[in-house]
Structure 1
Amino acid sequence: MSEDKNILARARRGELPAFEELVTLYEKRVFAVALRSSGSPEDAADITQETFLRAWRGMDSFRGDSGFSTWLFRIAMNLCVDHARRKNAAPLTQPLVGEDDMERPIPDPAPTPEQRLDNSELGRELSEALNEVSEEHRQIVLLRDVSGLSYTEIAETLEISEGTVKSRLSRARLALRDTLLRRGNILPPAPSKQPKGGGQA
């Protein structure tokens, strides 16, 4: 991490090559969050670009009170919220990204027919379900389950306590599960069965 601090120090001095190294370090995670939030690779690319543009312009005002990644994701989440408001919370239509997609900024354009069917249907349902939960719950899921931020980082990003992060994440996952149940995407748990003869004397 000392190397990251060195890069950050150089970037804060206005060294563009150092900032470009920070872009390389974080752009895939920012893109993944933006993609799942916006549902559009094109919009996600715009959000990612604007995130780093604002970060570069604001490097001289970054005091280091929180980690660079925390500050960066705060910018990204604010842009995601602004984008959703501009779109008037329109339903998402693009598949959600998975772990492999975080390793490349552009999804594979040529999946097999079977993959296309599975990914498009399941991804669309997950996207629409995520869009139905509150913005508060969607943010927490994006930061934790997409970006993989720690509870501490999320608390700093959203400016809430770690306890609030944990309770909000729990409620968000329950809300998402309830939405998927209601939409028929997952099956409810099977009712427990009494052993035969269990009630006889």
Structure 2
Amino acid sequence: MDELINKRINEVLKGNQDSFEEIVILFQHRLYHVCYRMLGSREEAQDIAQEAFVRAYSNLHTFDQKRKFSTWIFRIATNLCIDRIRKKKPDYSLDAQVPGTEGLDMYSQIAAAEDLPEEEVERMETQERVQYEIGRLPEKYRSVITLRYMEELPLQEIADILDLPLGTVKTRVHRGRDALRKQIGTM
């Protein structure tokens, strides 16, 4: 896979812009999912994933082909997500009351899947709750938890993506997991 990517990169650097489209196709879904899990918004995830590809294309000449392209593009996207998180204030709380209603909160606005068995509904609610709680983590924990448990990346690759020492990544995974456990409490 890395050989194919490096071949396409060389073609792009020689002027064949169509080869970059193949790279985008290979990584677009995984990159979008990383962004979505960090930001919790489909629109923002699409914007950031697109911006990551634009930046990668613009800076392709700086990519060290001895390294993995996936690590490089995930680093770009993760940094863009972190920047977005830092600039953004929380939009709303799920506990907040919906304007113009009597006692309905934002939880009631989450789409219900009525035709699913009870176990599937519980699983979906748990996943939504975990995703919500991950979104509440400080960004330094959110990024490592997302990359480790949602994208199932190895610790060393996470360290490369975030440009952090491996020990720092291990510590943040541990502390992020503890913080997440405390936030969730007993589900």
Give the TM-score category using the shorter length: 0.7 to 0.9
- Where structure 2 has 5 or more consecutive residues not aligned to the other structure, the ranges are 95-110
2:142 counterpart residue number = 138
What is the TM-score with the length of structure 2 in the denominator?
A: 0.77
Shift in Å, 1:80: 0.7
State the identity as a percent. Answer: 34
- Whole-Å separation in 2 of the counterparts to 1:163 and 1:146: 20
2:157 counterpart residue number = 153
Is the 1:30–1:48 contact (alpha carbons within 8 Å) kept by the matching residues of 2? yes
Shift in Å, 1:46: 1.0
Aligned CA distance change for structure 1 residues 168 and 43 (closer, same or farther; 3 Å):
same
Shift in Å, 1:85: 2.3
Give the number of aligned pairs: 167
2:184 counterpart residue number = 180
Spell out the pairing of 1:43-192 with structure 2 (5 A cutoff). Answer: 43-64=44-65, 66-90=67-91, 112-115=113-116, 118=122, 121-181=125-185, 184-185=186-187
Aligned CA distance change for structure 1 residues 24 and 114 (closer, same or farther; 3 Å):
same
- Report Cα offsets for 1:26-58 as digits up to 9, x if no partner: 111111111111111111111111111111111
Letter in 2 for 1:168: R
Letter in 1 for 2:87: R
Shift in Å, 1:119: 6.2
- Report Cα offsets for 1:51-75 as digits up to 9, x if no partner: 1111111112223363211111111
1:33 counterpart residue number = 34
Shift in Å, 1:24: 1.1
- Whole-Å separation in 1 of the counterparts to 2:34 and 2:148: 10
- Whole-Å separation in 1 of the counterparts to 2:19 and 2:157: 23
Shift in Å, 1:89: 4.2
- Whole-Å separation in 2 of the counterparts to 1:34 and 1:170: 22
- Whole-Å separation in 2 of the counterparts to 1:69 and 1:39: 22
Aligned CA distance change for structure 1 residues 118 and 47 (closer, same or farther; 3 Å):
farther
SS of structure 1 residue aligned to 2:164: coil
SS of structure 2 residue aligned to 1:113: coil
Is the 1:129–1:179 contact (alpha carbons within 8 Å) kept by the matching residues of 2? yes
Is the 1:91–1:131 contact (alpha carbons within 8 Å) kept by the matching residues of 2? no
Is the 2:34–2:151 contact (alpha carbons within 8 Å) kept by the matching residues of 1? yes
Is the 1:92–1:131 contact (alpha carbons within 8 Å) kept by the matching residues of 2? no
After superposition, the CA RMSD in angstroms is 2.5
- Where structure 1 has 5 or more consecutive residues not aligned to the other structure, the ranges are 94-109, 186-201
- Whole-Å separation in 2 of the counterparts to 1:8 and 1:111: 44
